[in-house]
Amino acid sequence: MEATIEKEICVTHTKETCVTAVAAVRDTLYVLNGKWKLPLLLALADGPKRFKEIQRDLQEITPKVLSKELKELELNEFLERKVFATTPVTVTYELTPYSRSLDKVLKELREWGLQHRQRIIKSRKNKVE
């Protein structure tokens, strides 16, 4: 073990950078966390949608939770809420270009996750045999 995780994640070994690094990782985890963040980002990936429209797409989400999740995503600048003065008023939610900055992270998360699942399934098999 030459390049330890600590080396990787903390870059240098001072306590301060370590704390910062852990906080940064946690920030990212936090932003993506919760049951609905990912499905919500995906639901909006094919263009702007209205509140009820999203609710119908995600089927099981309650309006309270949807409202909260949308607000969080908006605070993180992943989406923009637009109000149109139609009658009745129309509200749409639309992904920002910045939301695409997650692509690289999501790709890594997906690949590691796929690989990990395979590995764990394999290990369990070996133990049973």
Partner DNA sequence: GATACTACTATCCTAAAGGATACCGGTATC
Partner DNA sequence: GATACCGGTATCCTTTAGGATAGTAGTATC
Q: Is 106 in the site for a copy of itself (CB under 8 A)?
A: yes
Query: β-strands 90-95, 79-84: how paired?
Result: antiparallel
| Distance in angstroms between the alpha carbons of the first and the last residue of the chain | 31
Q: Which does 87 bind (CB under 5 to 8 A by kind): a copy of itself, DNA, none?
A: DNA
Total residues at interface with DNA (CB under 7 A): 21
Only one of the segments 19-27, 54-62, 66-74, 84-92 lies at the binding site for a copy of itself (rule: CB under 8 A); that segment is 19-27
Per CB under 7 A, does 4 bind DNA? Answer: no
Residue among 8, 15, 46, 87 that touches DNA (CB under 7 A): 87
Residues interacting with DNA, by CB under 7 A? 33-36, 50-53, 60-65, 67, 81, 87-91
